[in-house]
Chain A
């Protein structure tokens, strides 16, 4: 990475994410066709007809599908980050603030969930609880919280001995108040950074789950599109290539913005990230 300064790459990544956000909000209005409707012959080639990105096996307009897919993918990315962040912060805060045997127990649990093969675990969860948007989010959340918990724990442990926390304790504030109002705001910057990178990871996981055909069948996400592209790889390469490009660019942009955020918010963490 280029370091602290915000360069052209960071700006381009930021603009790309802004564009995605617009598409996620206004996408269904902007699509040239209804993404679920057959509007042409199946397997029309891209860049040479009225359908810019070609059509899929059912003659649906690929461009419309891709635009509608932004909302689904970003929605999963956002929700499947928010849930594990809350869970991870809760567990990390309890462990770091209370210490003792609770800390030991919770950290053992965290390590355990960090060791087991997370993707397989997520797939099992999705399969056990019928494929749907919510089971996808739950499965991604179930495997993403451990790093947050560990980070939150170390922040809370470092902060609980500081003077302003001592002062709050002497002032007679309750434990809940100290954790919620005093420590948490100070522990947030590194958690925001890890959260921004988790969005990228959640989008990747969703695409893999969708690709294997285990996502919500009524939700047109990029992973869903890829699962269709895989079966017709030999006859229609574009069905697999375009959603993949979209996922890669999105994840790349999030990583770049996340790194910039990392440098901006917390220089200490810069070298700790692998």
Chain B
């Protein structure tokens, strides 16, 4: 994990130095390099006058201590900006992930248990359709239908301007703002989980131990819950780790469309303003989160399937 974090720091370093133009412009912004003396000052300030290996080592050291540089647009440390916006993104991606898993797995299981029937075929077609639809387009259509035409749900931000006075009212307000972004981000992933769960359940449902359980006279729900789903959940858990990065990428688009104040939108703003320290900072933090998600799924894998636990030497 540490190696991966250092790796991301190196990639960021490479991006700054391989990009066309002077790295000073990337780190200090166009405004900070107006004349020759300012350039010299900025160069010294960012340590760009020292040899490359020294610069790289300094940057890795800084990154590991949580110093991600300063935003020259907002004149604040990047880490502060990200920490401010992180909860909104975690809420959005977390809720989308839960939606995707619950919806995808239940629909996938349902389809598999009715293998070959019309319900199974319908699920397959719908899943294939959502699998092919760009996330941002689903978001646009949801806005079009539920905000523009029906006017049921808000399309922007995560709180109304006249904020509710009670805690419950604020909660409701947040929820109504979260519905569209969460579904936009979650439906594509739900389609993937549905397809995978269907395949996994079909694979397990024909195995000998399921036949044994049926022969023992276990009730159907117990067979599904304890025997089929536990075994079918292994590929699903693997996928959660693999999809974590995609969820973050999708949040950039979804947060931009819905003006959701998370780090995805922060990244997009940084992109359009050429605020590279912020952009690279968001990239670093999200990469670390994704790596952490993979570590968590590895642990979950061991909990579900004792065979995959690492044996002590």
Of A115, A116, A124, the residue contacting B280 (CB under 8 A) is A124
Given contacts A123-B267, A211-B253, A247-B137, contact A271 B15 (CB under 8 A): no
A contact set with B: CB distance below 8 Å: 1, 108, 112, 114-121, 123-125, 127-130, 200, 204, 207-208, 211-214, 226, 229-230, 233-234, 237, 240-241, 244, 247-249, 251-252, 255-256, 271, 274
* Chain B residues closer than 8 Å to A200, beta-carbon distance: 132
Shortest CB-to-CB span from A1 to chain B, Å, is 7
* Chain B residues closer than 8 Å to A117, beta-carbon distance: 245-246, 248-249, 283, 286-287, 290
Interface: B148 (CB within 8 A): yes
Complexed CA–CA distance, A138 and B140 (Å): 27
- Number of B interface residues at 8 Å Cβ cutoff, please give it: 56
B contact set with A: CB distance below 8 Å: 3-4, 7-8, 11, 15, 19-20, 26, 124, 128-129, 131-137, 140-141, 143-144, 148, 192, 195-196, 199, 203, 235, 239, 242, 245-246, 248-250, 252-253, 256-257, 267-268, 271-272, 274, 276, 279-280, 282-283, 286-287, 290-291, 294
* Chain A residues closer than 8 Å to B143, beta-carbon distance: 233
Is the Cβ of A116 less than 8 Å from the Cβ of B11? yes
Complexed CA–CA distance, A131 and B248 (Å): 22
19 contacts between A and B (CB under 8 A): A115-B287, A116-B11, A116-B283, A117-B287, A120-B283, A127-B271, A129-B19, A208-B134, A211-B136, A212-B252, A226-B136, A237-B144, A244-B137, A247-B137, A251-B132, A255-B132, A256-B128, A271-B199, A274-B192
* Chain B residues closer than 8 Å to A207, beta-carbon distance: 134, 136-137
Closest to A229 in B: B140
Interface of chain B: mostly helix, strand, loop or mixed: helix
Best-surrounded residue of A204, A214, A226, A249 (most CB of chain B within 10 A): A204
Is the Cβ of A124 less than 8 Å from the Cβ of B253? no
* Chain A residues closer than 8 Å to B199, beta-carbon distance: 271, 274
Complexed CA–CA distance, A234 and B276 (Å): 32
Is the Cβ of B248 less than 8 Å from the Cβ of A120? yes
Complexed CA–CA distance, A214 and B268 (Å): 10
Complexed CA–CA distance, A208 and B4 (Å): 27
